[in-house]
Amino acid sequence: MDRTVTEMTHTHAAAPSRSARDWLYRLLSMPAGAILLVFLVVQLACILAGLLFPDDFRYLSSANMGIMMRSVPVLGCLALGAGVLMIAGEFDLSIGSVYTLTAVIMAMLVGLGVDAFLAAPMGLLVGAVIGLGNGFLTLRFNLPSFIVTLGGLLFWRGAVLLINGAVQVRFDPNPVFNALLSGTILGINAAFIWFVALCFGFWAVMHRHRLGNHIFATGGNRAAATAIGVNTGRIKMIAFAIAGFLAAFAGILATTRVGSVQPGQGAGLELQAIAACVIGGLSLRGGRGSILGVFLGVMLIFTITDVLLLMRAPGFYLDMFIATLIVAASIFNHGLDRRGAES
Amino acid sequence: MSLLELHSINKTFGPLKALSDLSFAVGHSEVVGLLGDNGAGKSTTVNMISGIHRPTSGYISVDGIRQDFANRRDSAEAGIETIYQNTALVDCLSISRNIFLGRELTDRFGFLDLRKMRDIAMQVLESAVHISGIDSPDKMVGDLSGGQKQAVAIARAVFFKRRVLLLDEPTSALSVRETEALLNQVLKLKAEGVSSVLVTHNLYHAYQVCDRFVIMSHGTKVFDVAKADTTIEELTQHVVLT
């Protein structure tokens, strides 16, 4: 990452200032350009600080890198699902609860003797079906998905306590399953590899596949997409299912990493996932955004969290920083939206 | 034989009678002005021809063959393209993605052939539609003016070889210059064999380009006349007084 920055800074310095400004303008007008710039600057600063003060600021230590790679994928997968759905023009506030519910179901099944390789797909299926249910209620009764999934958030949170009670569930899968989802390959955490692979997969779907084109069109202008023959109801259902599916996948990653499920563990994650999307440049009104933006939004949240932890800042700073980041990102994106609408 | 024909169409929405016994025809290489005051039933007629509404009774035929459009795709397959006042384009997608929306060029796994779509979009914009200011098919449609957006919609129709364009109030959001360009485009397409139905309440724009006028009032046709047999005063009278 640091090499890219230096290379770019070199071309920067060599070129006349006019083209440097053009280049900056082009970067900023890219879907995730601004966030990419912020991310690169933050990374560069962290790496420099890590090199200058290796004892006080252990950013580059392998322990710190390991913690980062283990903590990113859970929120990352939730944010990917939330992001795809946001681009389609809908919200899902229930993903935090679905994440816990599907993890509890999977862990209970494994506790009952079901193989983890069978229990995990069942968890994913439950997640996707709940997503479809949210979509059905939203579309059939023409409700705001915000309300429907707010109901889902409370309902499934309660359902976890109903089927399991307020105790933690141990998750003890077979070693192969463990290695595939939380092992380490060439020094890189398996969950992180899954997350990056999913990012590439969804990048291809959203930006290079017909389905993604239709998802953007549905979120951007549903009436137009319908008029041109896109089945926008079906597209939204698919997006809801993706959000539920990825919430369940995040649940599997988290559960395998920790080895148990806490019934209250998903609370607040849905908002963090949406926050990551907003920071990554997705429009709350749908139709705008990119997978790279979601990825960078998640990475930025964790980088800043990490920096504050390394500097031993009290926890409340964290929330305040992320809050500032969300609002700043929205102000910037709103400016872009408005410029697009006016011209 | 007429290219597009409506045969005594009735349409009711619950207790409301939107169209009653409406018949008219659009010939080959003909520009027809569908005129009438607000509420005359023009938009319902357009939605019916483009397949969004179904007639309660009566039917539509293309080349004399009876059609039963269930949705917009059906009408598009029959060669009819509707261009709406708020043209059916998605602002946050590029021009080329808009032109191919719903009819993307893909490989057999559904992945987009972006280069081919881009090349064709560029070609169509250069050859078929002459509206200045569109220099790249990668531009976001949201950054275009009203006239440019309609040009993109027309480019889409041209590329997919539509035979009838339904233009629903096409000039209402356009500047004077853009209106001129659009009307010229309609004439140019006519020369190439594409018929148009110009739905408008602006008689002057219609009079500039139309070969025939169909005037509607209260859901039915009250006047149907060739341009040679009428004057703009007579048309105005029929629109205002009926």
Kindly report, residue by residue over A211-220, the tens digit of the pLDDT: 999 999 999 9
pTM: 0.82
| Structural domain includes residue B207 | yes
Q: Do residues B226 and B33 lie in contact, with contact meaning Cβ atoms separated by under 8 Å? A: no
- Domain identity same for B168 and B202: yes
Q: Which of B133, B161, B189 delimits the end of a domain?
A: B161
Cβ–Cβ below 8 Å for A340 and B106: no
Size of interface A-B (CB pairs under 8 A): 76
Chain B residue whose CA is closest to A87: B92
| Structural domain includes residue B57 | yes
Distance between CA atoms of residues B44 and B52, nearest Å: 9
Q: Which residue has the tokens 């997503």?
A: A131
Could you list the residue range(s) of the whole structural domain that residue B39 is in? 1-79+163-242
DSSP secondary-structure letter at B34?
A: E
Q: Are strands B220-226 and B212-217 parallel, antiparallel or unpaired?
A: antiparallel
Q: How many residues does the structure list for chain A?
A: 343
Residues of B in contact with A210 (CB under 8 A): 104, 106, 110-112
Dihedral pair phi/psi, residue B57, rounded to 5°: -145, 170
- Domain identity same for B126 and B195: no
Cβ–Cβ below 8 Å for A204 and B71: no
Contacts of A53 (CB under 8 A, 6+ apart): none
Q: What are the C-alpha distances in Å from B196 to residues A147, B165, B166, B226?
A: 45, 5, 6, 15
Q: How many CA atoms are closer than 13 Å to the CA of A46, on its beta-carbon side?
A: 25
Query: How many angstroms away from the CA of B145 is the closest CA of chain A?
Result: 7
Judge whether B93 is closer than 8 Å to chain A, CB to CB. Answer: yes
Judge whether A29 is closer than 8 Å to chain B, CB to CB. Answer: no
Average pLDDT score, chain A: 85
Judge whether B122 is closer than 8 Å to chain A, CB to CB. Answer: no
| Structural domain includes residue B6 | yes
Residues of B in contact with A220 (CB under 8 A): 90-93
What does the angle CA A166 – CA A172 – CA A173 come to, to the nearest 5 degrees?
A: 130
HEC-encoded secondary structure of B161-202: CCCEEEEECCCCCCCHHHHHHHHHHHHHHHHCCCEEEEEECC
Structure tokens at B104: 């993307």
Cβ–Cβ below 8 Å for A227 and B84: yes
Tens digit of pLDDT for each residue in A266-298? Answer: 888 899 899 999 988 888 888 888 999 999 999
Structure tokens at A85: 């759905």
- Domain identity same for B113 and B69: no
- Domain identity same for B67 and B112: no
Cβ–Cβ below 8 Å for A210 and B90: no
- Domain identity same for B12 and B71: yes
Q: Which residue has the tokens 């969300």?
A: A326
- Domain identity same for B108 and B72: no
Question: Which pLDDT band holds residue A254 (cuts at 50, 70, 90)?
Answer: very high
Residue B83 Cα to chain centre, angstroms: 4
B residues 51..80 contacting A (CB < 8 A): 52, 71-73, 76
Judge whether A337 is closer than 8 Å to chain B, CB to CB. Answer: no
Cβ–Cβ below 8 Å for B106 and A210: yes
Domains and CATH numbers, chain A: 78-332 (1.10.3470)
Task: Please compute Rg for chain A using Cα positions.
Answer: 21
- Domain identity same for B75 and B167: yes
Structure tokens at B23: 């018949």
In this prediction, residue A320 carries a pLDDT of 85
**Mean pLDDT to the nearest integer, B193-219:** 89
Judge whether B142 is closer than 8 Å to chain A, CB to CB. Answer: yes
Dihedral pair phi/psi, residue A93, rounded to 5°: -85, -5
- Domain identity same for B145 and B36: no
Tens digit of pLDDT for each residue in A137-176? Answer: 999 998 999 999 999 999 999 999 998 888 888 888 888 8
Q: Do residues B165 and B84 lie in contact, with contact meaning Cβ atoms separated by under 8 Å? A: no
Judge whether B106 is closer than 8 Å to chain A, CB to CB. Answer: yes
Q: Do residues B242 and B223 lie in contact, with contact meaning Cβ atoms separated by under 8 Å? A: yes
In this prediction, residue A15 carries a pLDDT of 44
Chain B residue whose CA is closest to A287: B92
Dihedral pair phi/psi, residue B79, rounded to 5°: 100, 15
Query: How many angstroms away from the CA of A210 is the closest CA of chain B?
Result: 6
Long-range contact set of residues A111-120: C-beta below 8 Å, sequence gap at least 24: A111/A169, A111/A170, A111/A171, A111/A172, A115/A174, A116/A173, A116/A174, A116/A177, A117/A174, A117/A177, A119/A173, A120/A177, A120/A252
DSSP string across A169-222: EE----HHHHHHHH-EETTEEHHHHHHHHHHHHHHHHHHHBHHHHHHHHHHH-H
Residues of B in contact with A213 (CB under 8 A): 93, 97, 101, 104, 112
Q: How many CA atoms are closer than 13 Å to the CA of A52, on its beta-carbon side?
A: 6
Three-state secondary-structure class, residue B105? coil
Three-state secondary-structure class, residue A342? helix
Q: Which of B131, B161, B191 delimits the end of a domain?
A: B161
Structure tokens at B62: 């293309």
- Tell me the one-letter amino acid at B134: I
Residue B81 has pLDDT above 90, yes or no: no
Question: Which pLDDT band holds residue A335 (cuts at 50, 70, 90)?
Answer: low
Q: Outline where chain A has alpha helix (H).
A: 2-14, 17-29, 33-52, 62-87, 95-111, 116-140, 145-164, 175-182, 190-208, 210-220, 222-227, 232-258, 269-279, 291-310, 315-342
- Domain identity same for B153 and B167: no
Residue B59 has pLDDT above 80, yes or no: yes
Cβ–Cβ below 8 Å for A229 and B142: no
Q: What are the C-alpha distances in Å from B235 to residues A307, B36, B115?
A: 75, 10, 49
Residue B129 has pLDDT above 70, yes or no: no
Could you list the beta-strand ranges (E) of chain B: 4-13, 16-26, 31-35, 57-62, 65-67, 80-83, 164-168, 195-200, 212-217, 220-226
| Structural domain includes residue B96 | yes
Judge whether A216 is closer than 8 Å to chain B, CB to CB. Answer: yes
Q: Do residues A320 and A331 lie in contact, with contact meaning Cβ atoms separated by under 8 Å? A: no
Q: Residues A21, A24, A30, A34: what is their CA dihedral angle, to the nearest 10 degrees?
A: -140
Question: Which pLDDT band holds residue A6 (cuts at 50, 70, 90)?
Answer: very low
Cβ–Cβ below 8 Å for B112 and A209: yes
Instruction: Please count the structural domains in chain B.
Output: 2
| Structural domain includes residue B196 | yes
State the best of B75, B85, B92, B106 to mutate against chain A, taking most chain A CBs within 10 Å.
Answer: B92
Residue A72 has pLDDT above 50, yes or no: yes
| Structural domain includes residue B199 | yes
Cβ–Cβ below 8 Å for B88 and A204: no
Distance between CA atoms of residues B230 and B242, nearest Å: 17
Question: Which pLDDT band holds residue A77 (cuts at 50, 70, 90)?
Answer: very high
Tens digit of pLDDT for each residue in A99-128? Answer: 999 999 999 999 888 888 999 999 999 999
Q: Which of B52, B88, B143 sits opposite A224 (nearest CB)?
A: B88
Query: How many angstroms away from the CA of B100 is the closest CA of chain A?
Result: 10
Residues of A in contact with B88 (CB under 8 A): 221, 223-224, 227-228
Query: How many angstroms away from the CA of B217 is the closest CA of chain A?
Result: 26
Q: Which of B144, B161, B178 delimits the end of a domain?
A: B161
Residue A333 has pLDDT above 80, yes or no: no
Judge whether B90 is closer than 8 Å to chain A, CB to CB. Answer: yes
Q: How many CA atoms are closer than 13 Å to the CA of B202, on its beta-carbon side?
A: 16
In this prediction, residue B212 carries a pLDDT of 92
Three-state secondary-structure class, residue A240? helix
Cβ–Cβ below 8 Å for A340 and B84: no
- Domain identity same for B193 and B229: yes
Dihedral pair phi/psi, residue A200, rounded to 5°: -60, -45
- Domain identity same for B72 and B170: yes
| Structural domain includes residue B55 | yes
- Domain identity same for B182 and B112: no
State the best of A29, A210, A288 to mutate against chain B, taking most chain B CBs within 10 Å.
Answer: A210
